[in-house]
Structure 1
Amino acid sequence: MVALGGCGGGQSANTAKPQTPAEKSESPGAAVEKPPAAGEPIKIGAFFSASGGAAPLGKPELDTVRMLVDELNQKGGIGGRPVELIAYDDKSDQNEAVLAVKKLIESDKVAAIVGGTISGNSLAVIPQVEKAGVPYLSVAASRQVVRPDDGSPRKWTFKTAQGDDIVIDKVLEFLKEQNLTKIAWLNVANAYGSSGRAEFERLAPNYGIEAVAKEEFEATVNDAKAMLTRVKKANPQAIVVWGTVQESAVVTKNIRELGFDVPVIESHGIGNPQFIQLAGEAAENVVFPIGRIVVADQLPDSDPQKATLLEYKKAYEAKYGTAPSTFGGHAWDAFQILIAAIEKVGTDPGAIRDAIEGTKNFVGITGVFNFSPDDHTGLTKDSLVIARVKNGAFEFVHP
């Protein structure tokens, strides 16, 4: 399981048949968190890219939700009813995601669903959840997850990762501040990358910024030097790399190997310490927009999210022995917003949907959420900060 911010499209994997109830507790494709015996369980479905190309995103998402379910049940569940988490690994594959959600809806009969690590997988399951009328909180980034190109918002679908429209706006703002107006745009060739590129092309003229080179790279890229040689001839003032952890690390290493002496700005899809591990010294001084969790310790005490961020960080590190990522934060938000809705209105799907849509001033990991009928993301670009990699760690630059 995984999510690039929530983010891009997944890589193909062999399609598996839906599992029987006897299989799902034993197979790596599904995990059921058995609640303590106390009242009828409330079933919550989840699917993340815990394996495959998007695993650096989806694994912390799955781990976060499992942790939260344990904590909730230890406190007595919801109104004395335990929560039963039924979670599937979609293996970073759209077909697997569709099969998982079909089973969650038709066989497992869950009250609601969280997940969809990458944009392609989230988009692929939306027709099912919308038709079935099941509340769905995605953790992927594409604006189209909640608002397709025709402009009409989805009814049953929400998301907790900043939309690429918001993130691109933040990147363009930073580029303008730095007087970097001639840039090279490079994006991964999947739903996450193409959605980011579309938003860049739509918003860049507002900031007087021009792409002197535009290129795409595969999510499975292992050498981007040929592409980057073309980019170098365009003589950009900066390079924007729009991808997630694994592919962005490869491209970043190749940029350094070819001797580019320009700033490198990347997407929120690299917001996991694994990016630094994979890119090594090439990650140094990479700048990117990101939610506050990766720099929580560096925030001023006046920041309204700081206490919540540090509490999540402490719990996650205690349970898993590693720092949480921005992607796990998206899952934290989705689960907690859903639980707050169920605590308020019970398990009727329509009532849950309405309660989620009415969420106001919810202080989460990704930001402070304010949903509405016209906004099923509920975040602004103020939910992002600019960070950079410095001495092998993430460093806060400015809000």
Structure 2
Amino acid sequence: MKGEKEMKKRMFALLTAMMMMILAACGGEDADSASGSGGDSGGEIKIGSVIDASGSASPLGKGEEETIKMIVDELNEKGGIGGKKIKLISIDSKSDQNQAVLATKKLIEQEKVTAIIGGTISGNSLAMIPLVEKAGIPYLSLAASKQVNNPDDKSPRKWTFKTAQGDDVVIPKLIEYLEKEGLKKVAWLNVANSYGTSGHEEFTKLADKHGIKAVIEEEFEATVNDAKSTLTRVKKAKPEAIIIWGTAQESAVVTKNIREIGMDVPVIESHGIGTKQFIELAGDAANGVVFPAGKLLVLDELDDKDPQKEKLVAFKEAYESKYKNTASTFGGHAYDAIHILAEAIEKGGADKEKIREAIEQTDGFVGISGTFKMSADDHNGLTSDSLVMVKIDENGEWKLGE
């Protein structure tokens, strides 16, 4: 009797082990299939996103993450891409470079995605690039630094593209505004990270050629909570205007401090402040601030003949209806990225090289950030015409500042 029970136990254990082996083999076949087809597992297309949905860059990243999810849902409701549904694997990089790298590694090695969208801020995007370039993964960054897509002014990175206007596009717009306003002596202040230093590099290249001089140049940390000591030095330099190159959170602190120490000069900032959170954080100090940005912020003032207006209206209405929050230009970068990628996958199928080539051949795509014309020499595809100068009025509203 005892021997019979023991035999039954052994048989049960053997059957269990066999079932586990069969399940593991089936799982292995699925993983191999995804790997061999570039994230196309037969019934779905895997796309990864690495977004700063939390942390200091979340005023930018939240709109990006929500927009990507919204567009993926819209595409899937219409049948996906080429009849295959999109599986979005979205990871919050928490405004941290290490988290961005770990997320990218997971998407490439474990999830075996077809392509990646993300890198909310320039530092995170730059940290992700070595992994995507080595793996040969089509990558659309949402960050602005020219270093992201074209680090040496000669040729762009092979697999990396971006949909945010680069500082090599934005700084010329800024210079044009300074010239128009007759502002020749300025103070330059930038956040001490890759976004700030890249903007400073482009400004330095162009300023002298246009007769503009930085009478003082300073940096501030992304974690700054009081910049008054730095601004005291700025005040002594007697600039005609102050340029602040940072994103919403840190720039709001510096902007408030400028007014708190009694400086009454024009304040011009980067496109990194184009979110309502900046206005909320800076309070009344935001009034009168001017900055270059995409056209979404001043949609109501655009001419009806503007080629972007119809798409801008549709995006704004869809986003705000779904999320009950203000649509942002940062969400617009995500909108452009997912649509450009979807069109490329439609053309290239599961072949990553063909997808990369299709992205590179994007020509005439009218998006939220502008009308894109990419090429082998230009992996951004935007010009200064994609920007307008925006002014924050006394009611905390965006108005055309040109």
TM-score using structure 1 length: 0.89
Does the Cα contact within 8 Å between 1:39 and 1:82 map onto a contact in 2?
Answer: no
- Give the alignment of 1:218-233 within 5 angstroms: 218-233=221-236
SS at match of 2:305: coil
User: In structure 1, what is the equivalent of residue 401 of structure 2?
Assistant: 397
- The answer as to 2:340 corresponding to 1:337 is yes
For the residue of structure 2 that corresponds to 1:255, the secondary structure is: helix
Q: In 2, distance between residues paired with 1:69 and 1:258? A: 47
Q: How does 1:207-226 map to 2 (within 5 A)?
A: 207-226=210-229
What is the aligned partner in structure 2 of residue 3 from structure 1?
none
2:172 aligns with one of 161, 169, 178? 169
Counterparts of 2:265 and 2:314, CA distance in 1? 38
Distance in 2 of aligned mates of 1:184 and 1:253: 16
CA distance in 2, matches of 1:315, 1:178: 37
CA distance in 2, matches of 1:375, 1:71: 29
Residues 319-338 of structure 1: pairs in structure 2 closer than 5 A = 319-338=322-341
Q: Is residue 91 of structure 1 aligned with residue 94 of structure 2?
A: yes
Deviations 1:77-125 (A, max 9, x none): 1122110000111111111111110111111010000000000110111
Task: Name segments (4+ residues, structure 1) moved above 4 Å.
Answer: none
Q: CA RMSD for the aligned pairs?
A: 1.1
Q: Which residue of 1 aligns with 2:378?
A: 375
Give CA deviations for 1:184-207 in whole Å, capped at 9, x if unaligned: 000001110011111111111121
* Residue of structure 2 aligned with 1:358, choices 352, 356, 361: 361
State the 1:396 CA deviation. 1.4
Does the CA contact (< 8 Å) of 1:122 and 1:140 recur in 2?
yes
Letter in 2 for 1:151: K
Kindly report which structure 2 residues correspond to 1:30-45, keeping only aligned pairs within 5 A, or say none. Answer: 40-45=43-48
- Shifted more, 302-311 versus 149-158: the winner is 149-158
2:190 counterpart letter in structure 1: N
Question: Radius of gyration: which is bigger?
Answer: 2
Q: How many pairs are equivalent?
A: 361
Q: Deviations over 1:206-232 (max 9, x none)?
A: 211000011111101111100000000
Looking at structure 1, the residues matched to 92 and 286 of structure 2 have their Cα atoms a distance apart, in angstroms, of: 29
Q: For 1:365-388, what per-residue CA distance to the aligned partner results, in whole angstroms no more than 9, with x for missing partners?
A: 000000000000000000000011
Deviation of the 1:322 alpha carbon: 1.3
Residue 390 of structure 2 is matched in structure 1 by 387
TM-score, normalization by structure 2: 0.89
Tell me if structure 2 keeps the 8 A contact 1:186–1:239.
Answer: yes
More helix by share: 2
CA contact (8 A) 1:330 1:366 kept: yes
**Matched residue type, 1:374:** D
Kindly report which structure 2 residues correspond to 1:147-158, keeping only aligned pairs within 5 A, or say none: 147-149=150-152, 151-158=154-161
Percent identity, please. Answer: 65
Letter aligned with residue 395 of structure 1: K
**Residues 326 and 366 of structure 1 are in contact (CA less than 8 Å); yes or no, is this contact kept in structure 2?**
yes
User: Partners in 1 of 2:300 and 2:47 — Cα distance?
Assistant: 32
Shift of 1:345: 2.2
One of 294, 298, 310 as aligned partner of 2:313: 310
Match of 1:124 in 2: 127
Corresponding position of 1:70: 73
Matched, 1:160 2:163: yes
Distance 1:350 1:142 in 2: 25
Distance 1:210 1:63 in 2: 41
CA distance in 2, matches of 1:160, 1:85: 19
- Which stretches in structure 1 are left out of the alignment for 5+ residues? 1-37
| Residue 109 in structure 1 maps to residue 109 in structure 2 | no
Q: Is the 8 A contact 1:186 1:214 kept in 2?
A: yes
**Are the counterparts in 2 of residues 129 and 135 from structure 1 also a CA contact under 8 Å?**
yes
1:82 alignment partner in structure 2: 85
